């Protein structure tokens, strides 16, 4: 299944909530919600992976190393949101 890379501004629904991916000056896509909460970002690590699709690393906000990688940027984004929610659910 070929995966196209995200555009400069993408809307994504995940678990009944809407998120936005905005490409910044460094070429990374920042993940936020309608309230402006920053969940993390994805970056392209290669434009042509094993299946000739772009490959991404996904970084959770506050973490210096990537936690997810692959060609499915939508899946990576959803995983980062889930991870963020899991970390912050007990901090409230």
Query: Does residue 19 fall inside a structural domain?
Result: yes
pLDDT by residue for the chain (92 residues), tens only, comes to 556 778 899 999 999 999 999 999 988 999 999 999 999 999 999 888 777 788 999 999 999 999 999 999 999 999 999 999 998 875 54
Structurally, how many domains does the chain consist of? 1
Which residues constitute the domain of residue 73? 9-89
Query: Does residue 4 fall inside a structural domain?
Result: no
Query: Does residue 1 fall inside a structural domain?
Result: no
Q: What are phi and psi of 20, to 5 degrees?
A: -125, 140
Query: Does residue 27 fall inside a structural domain?
Result: yes
Query: Does residue 51 fall inside a structural domain?
Result: yes
Q: Which DSSP letter does residue 92 get?
A: -
């Amino acid at each position: 299944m070929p995966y196209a890379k995200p555009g400069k501004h993408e809307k994504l629904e995940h678990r009944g909530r809407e998120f936005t991916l905005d490409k910044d000056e460094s070429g990374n896509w920042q993940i936020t919600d309608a309230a402006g909460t920053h969940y993390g970002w994805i970056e392209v690590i290669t434009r042509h992976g094993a299946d000739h699709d772009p490959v991404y690393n996904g970084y959770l906000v506050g973490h210096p190393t990537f936690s997810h990688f692959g060609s499915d940027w939508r899946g990576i984004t959803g995983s980062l949101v889930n991870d963020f929610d899991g970390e912050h659910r007990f901090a409230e």
